[in-house]
Amino acid sequence: MNSSEVRRRFLSFFEKRGHAIIPSAPLVPENDPTVLFNTAGMQPLVPYLMGRPHPQGDKLANVQKCLRTTDIDDVGDATHATFFEMLGNWSLGSYFKEDAIKWSYELLTSKEEGFGLDPARLYVTVFAGDHNAPRDDEAAEVWEAVGLPKNRVYFRGADANWWPAVKGADTWTGPTGPCSEMFYDITPEGLGDLSPDEFAAADESQKVVEIWNDVFMEYEKKDGKIVGPLAKKNVDTGAGFERLCAVLQGKDNIYDTDVFTLINVAIANFQRDGALRSDLIKPRRVVADHTRAATMLVADGVTPGNGDQGYVLRRLLRRAVRYADSLGCPTDSLAKIADAVVETYRGVYPNVAAGREKIIATISEEETKFRKTLSLGLLRLEKILARNLDTGETVEREVASAQLVFDLYQSYGFPPEMTYEILSERGIKMLPDIQTRVSALLTEHEEKSRAGADAKFKGGLGDTGEVSVRYHTATHLLHQALRDVLGEHVQQKGSNITSERLRFDFAHPQKMTDEEKAQVEAIVNEKIAAKLPMNQAVLPKAEAEASGALHFFGEKYPESVSVYFIGNSLETAYSKEFCGGPHVKNTGELGHFKIQKEEAVAAGVRRIKAVLG
């Protein structure tokens, strides 16, 4: 079953069962400025999972674009990728465990409407219970009722069967609850019945692959602690699209599915030699994944930079260049591989095909810049070598040498392996303890980067506290004020909110003058002083677009959308945008607006940092 048929069958199955089909949200959250990317299928729907009515009703389904880098070191194995798609269906206070499980089983095993998987290869896990919630016997009983043998249902702890997992539970804020995961046996011979320990081993060795997850959102957490039941019980179910394709196409990894066919062909055309060498499997897969992710990011408006979304894009492209070099791919091959990504998603996400020229140009330019940076690193290394640095002379010199290797990596993106190779060519042997120190420095760097990323992602939910809500509303005023002063070419490119300030990225070709910044401040404060009401209207998409409400141009939207506008009516409103909220009731609640800084973050993109007093 090819990937197009997988998408079609999934959406058709749930549409026939009363679900409204909604489009994918962009990778960069439109209404959640506290996170970098949509990292899960449910993330764009958090306000509705918390109780807000959705314009399309209480049963929804879609295919959502996602991106995460927390598992970047695992990319290249059988199942991990930075960009991926999630098939998801949701109940917002409608059906619960019985229908969710029944439909999951039916979709996976039905040959007429579903995917026709063999029930004898299916295994399921449910929540074992702990101090937060009891054992989920109800879910286990439903699984038995639909036909799964009792010995194929395994009880597991919160680290596996509570969403989100324990990994982020100490800071999680938002809906939470037990989940039930479905696994499929992908071995040629079939594993048959497994004891709990045998199943755990099969999961660890990827002989069984997780293909579906039903999350039963019954509780609300704040700062990692359950504060009570949700007003409505919700269901968030989903499957990793690429993993499901691998199972349905009889592949033991996602990179051999038709999702990657054109991309793999492009890489093979550029790879110098050794196409079948086992040690080059991971480099090929990393190039495929990172180029695909970069293409989708650029299509959604991200540009390479030194912070937040731009930094992630830059990191992905630089890693892709390094791995492409290990394959012997020529300079500028990434842009041509990206063209294969565009062709792959041409009929799936229209903005990818529409943005082809920008995608190719951005990736090509970033590769060129990185190669210049590598050249600078090589010059620095050559200067040090010219001073006859003896790496093994003293302990102090050894430490300095380890720091040198790390500095070349951190400042210039210079791979440690390349440094070792150059030193070896010069007759300088890197002692094992020096390489150990380099590894320690790299590990420390990765841990700090990962900790920073975890703080940014906040487990995948936006902050709906009082301060963040005020800043969120202020970004609407700022956006419109910038358009008033600078022109209608101004368009939001990203935002981030903390308890101390708002940060707003926007399209503009040059630095703002002091007079322009003062004008923007004055307009925003004038609208705050006017105590204008913040209103919401749910409108047909065409009517919302005709109203002039700002939105992510080129993106798909459902047939009904939420528009927040500042003013007494939509026709006379000062600001109006497609948005899911939440917002203050009146601009008078915002306080005094002050721009702290205006700076460049990428070519044609400026950034404002501002506070509310």
All structural domains of the chain, each given as residue ranges with its CATH number in brackets, are 3-249 (3.30.930.10), 257-373 (no CATH), 388-459 (no CATH), 466-612 (3.30.980.10)
Name the residue among 212, 173, 223 with its Cα closest to residue 50. Answer: 173
Taking the alpha carbons of 112, 113, 115, 119 in that order, is the dihedral positive or negative?
A: negative
Question: Is the pLDDT at 167 greater than 60, yes or no?
Answer: no
Question: Is the pLDDT at 362 greater than 50, yes or no?
Answer: yes
The mean pLDDT of 273-280, rounded to a whole number, is 69
Question: Is the pLDDT at 281 greater than 70, yes or no?
Answer: yes
Question: Is the pLDDT at 391 greater than 50, yes or no?
Answer: no
The lowest-confidence range among 51-60, 86-95, 166-175 is 166-175
User: DSSP character for 93?
Assistant: S
> pLDDT by residue (tens digit) across 16-45?
999 999 999 999 886 565 578 888 888 888
The lowest-confidence range among 120-129, 269-278, 330-339, 361-370 is 269-278
Task: Give residue 442's pLDDT band: very low, low, confident or very high (50, 70, 90).
Answer: confident
pTM for the whole thing? 0.77
> pLDDT by residue (tens digit) across 174-184?
788 999 999 99
Q: Which residue has the higher pLDDT, 411 or 288?
A: 288
**Per-residue pLDDT at 388:** 54
Task: Give residue 458's pLDDT band: very low, low, confident or very high (50, 70, 90).
Answer: very low
**Strand pairing of 575-578 and 208-222?**
unpaired
Compute the distance between CA of residue 36 and CA of residue 30 in angstroms, rounded to an integer. 10
Question: Is the pLDDT at 371 greater than 90, yes or no?
Answer: no
Residues shown for the chain? 613
**Per-residue pLDDT at 455:** 47
Q: Tell me phi and psi for residue 296, to 5 degrees.
A: -70, -35
- Residue type at position 470: R
Question: Is the pLDDT at 461 greater than 50, yes or no?
Answer: no
